[in-house]
Structure formats: structure tokens, C-alpha cells
Amino acid sequence: MPITRRTFTDYLFCPMMVYLRAKRLVKPNANRSNALLIHSLRQRVFMELLDHEHRLVCSLPSNAPRKLITGGYVSEFSELLARLLSQNNAVLENAGVSNGDVYNSLFSEFVPEIDKRVSQIHSFMAKSKASGEELWRSLTPKVYHYFNASLSDLGMELTVDKAEVYDDSVRTTVVKKPSAPNKGVWPSDLLELGACSLAAEARFQRPAKKGFVCYGTVLREVSINQFIREKTVKTCREISALIAGDIKPRRAQNRNKCLNCRLVEACRGVPV
């Protein structure tokens, strides 16, 4: 079983959750399957949009107004999303998922991304006076959404929500539910960001100096320092040993965690 972003959350909550899934002692969650289906659609539409961005940027006239750039991105995304949902309409129906709900949900996610990207391009064009292929070649940052990345030496296979690639660095963003702590980020989110940063470094061959965790409208900046790197690697090693071994971990010391745990029945059936 590879280490995914979800594995960090499970491991910090209760190592037994990782053990149960690694040993296939739990049944797949139907609601989770629907979430994975929607995530797959999200990933595909953003990946295809990246392929279209080259043509879109190169088509912009010099000194293009912000409104024109915005319209281009909205049009491209809308067409891609509608086509992808149409192609997967039968799958969505079988899963009991509304085509319209998925469209509205994914489009609302795209709105803040398009606003930021248009600002970057509009500002870059104003400074560089570039257009066409020259604009695309020199445009920074290049932005990649929802791409798969792996680090085989750490046993990680994960999806990076967003990476902004600059000439001298790469910045990753982890998107979470809108429930931010009073300050900083949640411990599991810190590990996710550390893992995504290490994976992005390997893919784009640039150092990750900082990254972000997005909680809805709240964006928390995190310095990718040596402590985070070492903590991420150490945790990956611990999880890998748990997955590969036959020694059962202790159950959560705080039994209140068991009250709403989806795996409690499977856990009770495992002698420790």
C-alpha cells in the first residue's frame, strides 16, 4: 500500500487505521468512492486545461485587458468541464451523483484560481510587453493543478493540488476543508505539504522554499525548512515500517477518538 496524503491524517489520528487498510481488513466506503470519482474528474479537467493554456496565452494580443483574459479562461474551463461530465454521465448516474451539482461545485473551485492566474498574466504582460510564443516562454510562474507525483524511496504516491513553478523555486499548495486552526496549520496538513513539496522538488528540479495550505478563503503560508523535511521523511519511514510489518500498533490512547471512527468494528476484531 503506497503512502498517500490521506495516510498522514490517518496515522496521526490513530496508527491502527493505517494498519487496517494496509492489511485489507476494512471494506471500501461507498461515500469515499464517490469522493474519489469527483476528485478524478477534477484532476482530469485541470490537467486538460493546462494543455489548453499554452494556446490560450499565445492567442492574447499585447496589452490584453484583464476582462479579455478572464473570459478566455472561463470559456475554456466551462467547455472542458461540460464535455468531461457529458462523457461520464452514465458513471455519475450509477453513483447517484448529480451532473449539475458536480459542475457547480468544480466551477466554484475554479473561480478563485482563475482570478489569481489572470492577475499573474495581466501583471506579467504589463511588465514584459511580451505576447504570443514569447509570452508563454517567459511567463512565470507556470502553474500545474492536480497532478500525480511519487517518491519511490519514501513509498509515496500522491496528488499535488497545485504547484507554481518559478525559475529558481517551486511552491506547492495543499487544499483542505475550510476549517483552519486559530494560527498555523493542522499537524497532518503540515506533513501533507511537506510531502507535496518534496515530490514537487523531484519533479521540477527546483527547491521548495515555501508552500501554502488553503482552508477555503484562508491561505496559510509555511516555510519549507529543515524541520519539516526531516519530520516528513521520518513519518514516512514509520508508516512504511507499519505497512510492511506484522506487528500491530497500539489503539488510540484517547478512546474518545473511537466514538465516531468508521473503522471501530474492524478494529475491535483485531487482537492486540
pLDDT tens, 247-272? 888 877 787 888 878 888 788 776 65
Contact, 272 vs 251, CB < 8 A? yes
Query: How many CA atoms within 13 Å lie on the side-chain side of 244?
Result: 9
Measured between alpha carbons, how far is 145 from 101 in angstroms, rounded to an integer?
Answer: 21
Helix 226-244 vs helix 5-13: angle between axes, to the nearest 10 degrees? Answer: 80
Which residues fall within 8 angstroms of residue 83, CB to CB, at 6 or more apart?
A: none
Contact, 199 vs 156, CB < 8 A? yes
pTM of the model: 0.84
Per-residue pLDDT at 31? 55
Lookup: cell for 237: 519511514
Q: Which string of DSSP letters, residue by residue, matches 212-259?
A: EEEETTEEEEEE--HHHHHHHHHHHHHHHHHHH--PPPPPPSSGGGGT
The 10 Å Cβ neighbour count of residue 123 is: 11
| Digit-coded pLDDT (tens) for 174-196 | 999 888 999 999 999 999 999 99
Strand segments (E) across 166-223: 170-176, 210-215, 218-223
CA quadruple 15, 19, 25, 26: dihedral sign = positive
Contact, 219 vs 171, CB < 8 A? no
| Digit-coded pLDDT (tens) for 194-222 | 999 999 999 999 999 999 999 988 999 99
Lookup: cell for 176: 483542505
